[in-house]
Structure 1
């Protein structure tokens, strides 16, 4: 059976109009047992108040994958990309040798919620940006953005009573973004994670419907 990590076990950071829940050690938060999972270094769920966000800052040597759950993310980076990212669009920023970007709530009235994952990158040259529109299919793993790392990320939507099979990988990580997901005897709710490192696949079901991000980690 996979490990079930409850949302309430995540680290919490509160700033000026931004609240973040960290799945792994990040910044001032440190737990030697939670420093990553395969190539994944961070999974942060960000809640950003209207008009707030992160001003220009820098990253290097990481893949940054962003999935908006609610609201509008206004993005600008040093590769020349800028614009709004909404639910249904997966964004990837490969930092390479170094990239500067800003992330802000694009609305002055509505909140913004997004999940951001950072992975160790195999890219060591100029930064690169990509985004794709993800179909809203149910019951199947829908590919999202490619990453320069031994990993694949999929979006999964389950209708009430729906089921899906996650294929085998060295490690599998499922982030439940809404609803509830059943895996064997485990019941995972919003913000919970299922982590498997046994090289096997997972069978998922949902009694009332759910959405999740699914990572297949191959090293």
Structure 2
């Protein structure tokens, strides 16, 4: 982990993200990912991946491995089927928090084919989701999986803990991650509603849907993100109906 640097607010616009677009996938990467590598853009705090993915019906990510990573998936539209080598399977949909701990090694797949599990007809709806990776406190932990419905909490309009390893969320966070320095929040905001960001050495604000205004910085559109260092507490106000994802982090990966 590294020492906290000087205060900074770094706005990253949607069109600055690395794109991956193929027949079945439209993905935007906030940080270096796959063939896209920029040594100056590998992480913020302990967040290494913030992928904004749209997958067409009947397609998805075939079985592939992960190791020593806490992976949180947040669906905005449609549904995503998860299956892994530890025997876990489930359908992830809006309002469902899901975490996979890769630990010593895990294989999993993610497909836009929930209709198959239900025995229904094919559909034409894409699935839109954000997948985020943070490093665990320690390597070599046992793989794990957890999901929980938090849709009712989101209806209240405030920042809702989605996933956390922090002690302050022990009785509040929907799911636990194996990093005691990090927490993810989500908020669904109607036009005019506001939330206040936490204060932390590192924050990452992402706007996957809608348009908001950040106090002191102006408008943020769909796909925009802000990396805060040694600051926080700003107000975020929805200009139109919007959804935001916020990582609060009290440590950083060594550069």
TM-score, structure 1 normalization:
0.95
**5+ residue gaps, structure 2:** 1-7, 116-121, 164-175
Instruction: Report the count of equivalent residues.
Output: 219
TM-aligned CA deviation for residue 143 of structure 1: 1.0
Residue 141 of structure 1 is matched in structure 2 by: 159
Give the 4+ runs in structure 1 shifted more than 6 A.
none
Partner in structure 1 of residue 60 of structure 2: 53
8 A Cα contact 2:50 2:133, kept in partner: yes
In the aligned structure 2, how far is the partner of 1:84 from the partner of 1:100? 17
| Aligned mate of 2:25, from 10, 14, 18 | 18
Q: Are 1:212 and 2:247 an aligned pair?
A: no
Gaps of 5+ in 1: none
Cα deviation 1:19-55 (Å, max 9, x = unaligned): 2111101111111221100111111111111100011
* TM-score with structure 2 setting the length: 0.82
Corresponding position of 2:232: 200
User: Among 31, 41, 51, which residue is 1:34 paired with?
Assistant: 41
1:71–1:139: structure 2 CA closer, same or farther, 3 Å change rule? closer
1:197 aligned counterpart, secondary structure: strand
- Given candidates 152, 173, 181, the residue that maps to 2:204 is 173
Aligned: 1:118 with 2:139: no
- As a proportion of its length, which structure holds more strand? 1
Specify which of 191, 195, 201 is matched with residue 160 of structure 1: 191
1:55-78 per-position Cα deviation (integer Å, ceiling 9, x unaligned): 100000101000001111011011
Q: Which is helix-richer, 1 or 2?
A: 2
- CA RMSD of the aligned region, Å? 1.4
